[in-house]
Amino acid sequence: MPDSPHDALREDPDLGPLVAHHGELTLDPADDMFERLVVSILRQQVSMASAAATRERLFEAVEVTPEGVLAADDDVLRDAGLSRQKTRYVNEVAEAFREAGYGIDYFAGMPDDAVRAELTSITGVGDWTANMQLLFSLGREDVFPVGDLGVRKGFRNVVGEDYDRPEMVEYAERWAPYRSYATLYLWRAEEDVADSVAEVRED
């Protein structure tokens, strides 16, 4: 058995060259799940530059905690650059986190599918956003967010063929139990898309 995810992927003919080129990419999970989830919502269907600007304004305007968001007037969130829809989503997430006590400790040890089910019960959180939390809040090693545009573009570049989403999921089984790391390399394989789109939700 390989000693690490990177050792396993080095042996893969598709991803091995990317590991050699980019080195050992890591998941680096966030310390604060609520902040990370809010950032994922800001990144839904907008450019990286737009999301970064909104993030900066939002984090300056309010305390980005469930209590801080719920205490803020919606006009403050809108002035920071959130659309009416995203203002609602951020409030829904804040309410869910406050009421249920969600956080990294809450979800630790919970199976991936159970985490997805609980998170997607919140208005504004779809499969893509839930998968971003599995990757970047919880550091789960075997997540393959096939709904992500950058993953699909990178997959096409690396594998060299057009697959539909179920076929991609089936193909990616060869990268288990390290599909999260495979995802990081697929994003690097389509850096132009990653730079211009950031995280594009296609739930």
Task: Give the pLDDT means over successive 10-residue stretches in the chain (203 positions).
Answer: 85 95 93 95 85 94 97 96 96 97 95 97 94 96 94 92 93 97 93 45 39
Domain limits, the chain: 5-27+143-197, 33-136
Q: For position 146, what pLDDT does the model report?
A: 95
Q: Is 5-27+143-197 CATH 1.10.600.10? A: no
Q: For position 201, what pLDDT does the model report?
A: 38
Angle value at C-alpha 191, between 189 and 30, nearest 5 degrees: 95
Same fold, 5-27+143-197 and 33-136: no
Q: For position 38, what pLDDT does the model report?
A: 96
Q: Report the predicted TM-score, pTM, of the whole model to 2 decimal places.
A: 0.87
Q: For position 67, what pLDDT does the model report?
A: 97
Q: For position 196, what pLDDT does the model report?
A: 38
Give the separation between CA 197 and CA 164, rounded to whole angstroms.
Answer: 21
How many CB atoms are located within 10 Å of the residue 185 CB?
23
- What tokens were used for 31? 């310390």
Q: Is 33-136 CATH 3.30.460.80? A: no
Which stretches does DSSP call E strand in 18-140?
Answer: none
